Amino acid sequence: MSIFLTNKIGKKELTAKTVLTDPVLFLAFGFGSGLFKKAPGTMGTLAALPVYGLFALAGNHFLIALTLVAVIAGIWICGAAAKKLGEHDFGGIVWDEVAGFLVTMCWVPFSWPALVIGFVLFRLFDIVKPWPIIWVDRKVSGGFGIMLDDILAGILSGFILLIIADMGWL
């Protein structure tokens, strides 16, 4: 019994090998993290940690610019992956979590407490999906729809993270 999806991924029943060897699917599945059977969104957010670390090393202006590139490219990546899978917003598509977490972390300078709190806040809002995130998740389709609910969760998480930082709790 495997903890990974191994075959019959999506309605087109792709294999894990296809996901890992197709550049678009590899990115859409968060470098393979979306292949976990349980909690692929959380695994995708975990996969975002080293991406954030690399982006943060480049400085805040580059972090924001690279995050914007990840968001814009993500619209195409997620839309193309959904078509290849034959299924809109398949659970293994986690590039939206990667980009959403990057959005969360753009609001404050790097620190380990900010990283942990940002991770928890982002996962909370991505899972609970308060309004208007739930409305977007249900009503907006395509790559834009796949990305938008996670970007909104990232904005909300980042805003709360900024408040926490401004209160001196980080």
Instruction: Give the domain extent around 35.
Output: 16-166
Largest CA distance in the chain: 50
Give the distance, in angstroms, between the CA of residue 36 and the centroid of all CA atoms in the same chain: 14
Strands (E), the chain: none
Look at residues 5, 22, 163 and name the one whose alpha carbon lies nearest to residue 83. 22
Residue 138 lies in a domain: yes
User: Does 2 fall in a domain?
Assistant: no
Structural domain includes residue 3: no
Phi/psi region, residue 130 (left: phi>0; alpha: psi -120 to 50; beta: rest), is: beta
Cβ-contact 143, 77 below 8 angstroms? yes
Average pLDDT over residues 42-56: 96
Q: For all residues of the chain together, what is the average pLDDT?
A: 94
Mean pLDDT, rounded, for 5-30: 92
Q: How many C-alpha atoms does 114 have within 13 Å on its Cβ side? A: 25
Is 126 part of a structural domain of the chain? yes
Give the number of domains in the chain: 1
pLDDT at position 117 is 97
Q: Rounding to the nearest 10 degrees, give the CA dihedral for residues 144, 23, 52, 137.
A: 20
The residue whose two tokens read 């293994």 is: 92
Mean pLDDT throughout 23-47?
96
Classify residue 114: in a domain, yes or no.
yes
**Average pLDDT value for residue range 10-27:** 94
Choice between 5 and 26, residue whose per-residue pLDDT is larger: 26
Residues 57-88 as b/e (b if ≥16 CB within 10 A, e otherwise) read eeeeeebeebbeebbeebbebbbbbbebbebb
Is the pLDDT at 31 greater than 80, yes or no?
yes
Half-sphere exposure of 57 (CA within 13 A, CB side): 5
